[in-house]
Amino acid sequence: RFTIDFGVDSDNIAFHFNPRFNYGADVKVIVCNSKKGGWSEEQRFTFFPFEQGKEFKVSFSFNHENFYAKLTDGNMVTFPNRFGTETFNHLEVAGATVTSMVVT
């Protein structure tokens, strides 16, 4: 599994993007959530274009209403922006290596 988090800090995460290859009972599922004073209700997506050890591309965008993650296979994850803001100063990636990043 790996995670990509956008938020204010590690305790206030507006968008937690967590593809799970084989983690506990989760096999090939994308779990998304937010954290502010504790984890909120998660959303799960069953399309899974990732392969262990292979490069992938994911594009993130957001506004005050939603986060969007466009995946390599063309699928789109849409998750509510529960913080309602368009500015975040915390980005954390765990379990994956970033080889390139474009921020606009």
Can you tell me the distance from the alpha carbon of 29 to that of 47, in angstroms, rounded to the nearest whole number?
A: 7
Q: What's residue 104's pLDDT?
A: 65
Name the least confident of 39-43, 54-58, 86-90, 97-101: 97-101
List of residues 6+ apart from 74 with CB closer than 8 A = none
* pTM for this predicted structure: 0.93
Tell me the domain boundaries of the chain.
3-94
CATH number of 3-94: 2.60.120.200
